[in-house]
Structure 1
């Protein structure tokens, strides 16, 4: 393998969902810095701030079928093809199951799972003729461990892991690799509007990991860039844990 991290996605065309801030923005910026052209998608209009040579923003709701179609069409029409899809968009809420409405449940699942399904399906259609591509899903150690009051989120991340594994088996015969990152606590604004001082909460919770801290978004982006690159050419259906050791900790 003659590539280096600085050039490992050079010339690739990528879609990154949830790209307006946090992990998604870090991924979009890192892929672009390493030579990829990027469609940056988010429901938040702030994603338009990323616009520039080689980065095209798309304001869209990832849970909608036509959003996935628009994102893939935009990548192909603007840059000629699609090589990488990063399903990062996610939502979270804090409610006991007995207090949760059907609408609450659907709101989380529609973004975290259905959005990934729709974008993966449409991306596959564009990638299959080229017999190459990489899909990276942003999962969580919460796919394997339960926490009170975030049942919809943990269920969605568990489903995303199983979608990753199943799609990996279907995709590899077409030369497309599907993997996931099991992210730990990352200091982002995912709790914005849902709790006060959400970033501080994530930073504090991250200190419970063996590494003793939460991650920076850029640290997760590095793992994504690797999985999306040819340097990870033998990785199929993997869930790479980047959680500071949280998933191997007992007690």
Structure 2
């Protein structure tokens, strides 16, 4: 599997495009917004709070949103569309750190086992579903005469989306995000492109850097990840890709030769896969 090159010239294809980003006030979302602005795009970011020292401009707007609340994310998209009159690309990025430890249970006031804290699931997975639901609506109902290749959704998955990772609620959510990609790639063919990123350890503020430094583990700058997001926006031929990033190295690991899908087909022994069967009977 060869590394992926991201040329600067291709990134400039987003000049003049309208980009909507959830979780855009920090980390990967903010780095992506900053890069999009630098490349001449129009950007609407949504988050609980604005970025530090944020100042809106003619091309850069902030809207408050909680992606886990339907009314909030629905209103966010309506306002984002009104701001610039169109939406070209959506970055489904909002997320929080793990919140539930399956080994430390608590009791309620009656002495019964309290339910798990589902905040991570609600934001990282339900919020992603809410955002993709609205993104597909707005992008498919764009009345402009433009190619579906010019409209796309990029999801923030994770390196934990395809391996064991002992933060169970976070891993469950990120496996689910990869499931959104794989569940929709066939349905959206020829309509809207959908891709995802799978960053390794990144300085997003969710986890303090000190433990990684003590272990000698590299933590990449979110600017590295932002380039992969904009690459997927700009590359009109990519659909169903999952780009893994680590310390400046990029790999497409879903559809590439030797990637996840090829290895899955090899393990299953060449039988007609479940997606093909479902396509034929539905």
TM, length-normalised to structure 1: 0.83
Cα offsets for 1:24-51 (capped at 9, x unmatched):
1001111111111111111124477152
Across the aligned residues of Structure 1 and Structure 2, the Cα RMSD in angstroms comes to: 2.4
Greater than 4 Å deviation, 4+ residue runs:
202-205, 244-248
Q: Structure 1 pair 222/151, CA: closer, same or farther in 2 (3 Å)?
A: same
Between Structure 1 and Structure 2, the one with more helix by share is 1
**Structure 1 position 76, deviation (Å):** 1.4
Kindly name which structure, 1 or 2, has the bigger radius of gyration based on alpha carbons. 2
Q: Structure 1 pair 214/163, CA: closer, same or farther in 2 (3 Å)?
A: same
- Secondary structure at the counterpart of residue 188 of structure 2: helix
Counterpart mapping for 1:226-245 below 5 A? 226-229=231-234, 232-244=235-247
Are positions 1:173 and 2:179 aligned together? no
Q: Structure 1 pair 102/48, CA: closer, same or farther in 2 (3 Å)?
A: farther
Q: Which residue is 1:214 aligned to?
A: 219
Q: Which residue is 2:73 aligned to?
A: 68
Are positions 1:142 and 2:160 aligned together? yes
Q: Which residue is 1:154 aligned to?
A: 171
**Which residue among 90, 108, 114 is the counterpart of 2:120?**
108
* Unaligned runs of at least 5 residues, structure 2: 1-7, 106-113, 254-282
Cα offsets for 1:69-125 (capped at 9, x unmatched):
122212211111111110111111265313256442x21111111111111111111
Given that 1:14 and 1:37 are in contact with CA atoms closer than 8 Å, whether structure 2 keeps it comes out as yes
**Which residue among 27, 30, 33 is the counterpart of 2:35?**
30
Cα offsets for 1:147-194 (capped at 9, x unmatched):
33x1000111111001012122222231x1100001000112113xxx
What is the aligned length? 230
Given that 1:41 and 1:57 are in contact with CA atoms closer than 8 Å, whether structure 2 keeps it comes out as yes
- Secondary structure at the counterpart of residue 187 of structure 2: helix
Deviation larger for 19-28 or 161-170: 161-170
Given that 1:185 and 1:203 are in contact with CA atoms closer than 8 Å, whether structure 2 keeps it comes out as no
